[in-house]
Amino acid sequence: LSRGGSRLGSRAKNTHRNYSCWCPSKRLILRLLYFVFPIVQTLGLPITDEQIQEMKSNLDNIDFKMAAEEEKRLRHDVMAHVHTFGHCCPKAAPIIHLGATSCYVGDNTDLIILRHAFDLLLPKLARVISRLADFAKERADLPTLGFTHFQPAQLTTVGKRCCLWIQDLCMDLQNLKRVQDGLRFRGVKGTTGTQASFLQLFEGDHHKVEQLDKMVTEKAGFKRAFIITGQTYTRKVDIEVLSVLASLGASVHKICTDIRLLANLKEMEEPFEKQQIGSSAMPYKRNPMRSERCCSLARHLMTLLMDPLQTASVQWFERTLDDSANRRICLAEAFLTADTLLITLQNISEGLVVYPKVIERRIRQELPFMATENIIMAMVKAGGSRQDCHEKIRVLSQQAAAVVKQEGGDNDLIERIRADAYFSPIHSQLEHLLDPSSFTGRASQQVQRFLEEEVHPLLKPYGSVMKEKAELSL
């Protein structure tokens, strides 16, 4: 977040410009080096107004070339900026980084970046949920064949199926917000977390050390800090962060896999532009390339969780430095990947195309078998024997199945029932008994209640960012 948490544009190609690499933002580093001193001054240490003003005036005066040369010489990123900042602030140079450790700068900066990074993702996730909610509402009553084990099952509706996707994303939204709200500042803890250096600076005054920690935490915008740290904040924080991002990746993968399968069934498609080419060899193809890209990136996002799990497990005692290079990669990549996924999924959800006639045809192929129980019940009500009716339908169903599987024909079970005099008492009811809407249960009512009670209240805080469209430069 080299621009202090600037808002990402809607174009996926610009994503990397806002997150930068996870090396802590140079401006945030200097601010953390600076803003502790007015607080220290109020607590009684001999820091002059002139020194504070000198630092404040040079917060954006960063000589990056000098910092790079210092880092090459010192082999230490934070100290390179301490020296560079000191060169700009000769009067304040003796006190810069006074009593602090590199992890006061690096870890606290990372926590600020994490908090801002969630701010970039949450509105995008809310927009995806909103677009899918509109889609679900519009198609809440449209019957479609349900699948279990990818085998035909009872009917559902297109809107109800979409709500399965939305529910997962709502859980992700709540989890991202929960982890963001639960972030705690490392605070001012010293080299091994004991605050020994600060206790010495304040000549044994424990209250002032605690006040410093509390005031710096509030200055950074956090509600609380860790009471216990080693040199770093516990790396389990990174596990929590990447866990919710990996979980989001799983949700996106499931949604886009469903879309890919539905594209194969020709029931639903992602957006496909007029001039878009699906295949260089097969001009007729309409490949679900956006959904495929999401699945590809989601797979990467899910695997990134292994990095902080391994890192947290091998932090020796108060800390070891084998976490640093790894974290600079996996934390940044996780947010970058999640961001790209959400931009792409929003684009998909804004242009989903449904083919009701294809859906209707597939229902006609499978519904006769599903309707057999209803037909048996209707016959019983008309005075027939359940066992006799069951046997009649069993024989006719097998004959119809043979036509479908062995001859490649259409399901003609209903025609066979119409032609059988045994079923004459219910012939006039068959059209009603085969009405797809009578097989979807409470699907449409569930959609309405779910959107009203769970989705819309969850999206309310994001009302001001809902209009932004997602455009892809692929």
**Separation of alpha carbons 397 and 310, rounded Å:** 56
**Separation of alpha carbons 162 and 135, rounded Å:** 8
Q: Is 149 a catalytic residue?
A: yes
Which stretches of 29-92 are assigned E, i.e. beta strand? none
- Please count the residues of the chain: 474
Kindly name the residue from 57, 76, 206, 279 that is annotated as catalytic: 279
**Separation of alpha carbons 30 and 87, rounded Å:** 13
Tokens 């991002």 sit on residue? 245
Kindly name the residue from 149, 280, 428, 464 that is annotated as catalytic: 149
Is residue 117 within 8 A of residue 1, CB to CB? The reply is yes
What's the count of helices (H) and strands (E) in the chain, helices before strands? 20, 4
**Within 10 A of 430 (CB to CB), how many other CB atoms are there?**
17
Token reading at 386? 């359940």
**Separation of alpha carbons 19 and 187, rounded Å:** 23
Token reading at 461? 């805080």
Comparing CA positions, the residue from 210, 241, 203, 239 lying closest to residue 227 is 210
Comparing CA positions, the residue from 86, 122, 29, 83 lying closest to residue 459 is 122
- Note the Cα 428 to chain centre separation in Å: 52
Q: Mind telling me the catalytic residues?
A: 149, 279
